């Protein structure tokens, strides 16, 4: 069973047992997270109907929190003697996807 979920401003295609990195969430390691699915597929049918999606549940478990790879931001204006170099590391939360269930369909 596969699903497309929304976490923050991004969409992820997930299956049961997948590990994804999402933007930092204020949960402790080991806590459960529920996601809002926008599409669920069980290899035969694809469900996108809002009526059916109200009961769909996708749960995950927080594995760890961390910082991503460093990104260098460099600004320069030629012939002006202006240059700025900054670094940035984005915080993330790693989540293991658990059960994907459609709930009641009717």
Nearest alpha-carbon partner for 41 in 102, 103, 104: 102
72, part of any domain: yes
- Residue pLDDT, tens place only, 5-18: 999 899 999 999 99
- Residue pLDDT, tens place only, 50-62: 777 778 889 999 9
Range of the domain at 52: 2-101
pLDDT on residue 44: 83
Question: How many domains does one find in the chain?
Answer: 1
8, part of any domain: yes
106, part of any domain: no
How many C-beta neighbours within 10 Å does residue 93 have?
22
56, part of any domain: yes
Average of per-residue pLDDT values in the chain: 91
On the question of pLDDT at 104 being above 70, the answer is no
pLDDT on residue 42: 81
């Amino acid at each position: 069973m596969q699903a497309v979920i929304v976490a923050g401003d991004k969409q992820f295609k997930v299956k049961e047992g997948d590990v994804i990195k999402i933007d930092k969430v204020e949960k402790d390691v080991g806590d459960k997270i529920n996601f809002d699915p926008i599409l669920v597929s069980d290899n035969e049918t694809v469900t996108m109907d809002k009526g059916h999606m109200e009961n769909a549940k996708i749960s995950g478990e927080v594995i760890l929190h961390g910082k991503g790879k460093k990104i260098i931001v460099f600004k320069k204006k030629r012939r002006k003697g202006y240059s700025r170099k900054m670094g940035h590391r984005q915080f993330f939360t790693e989540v293991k996807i658990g059960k994907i269930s459609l709930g009641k369909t009717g």
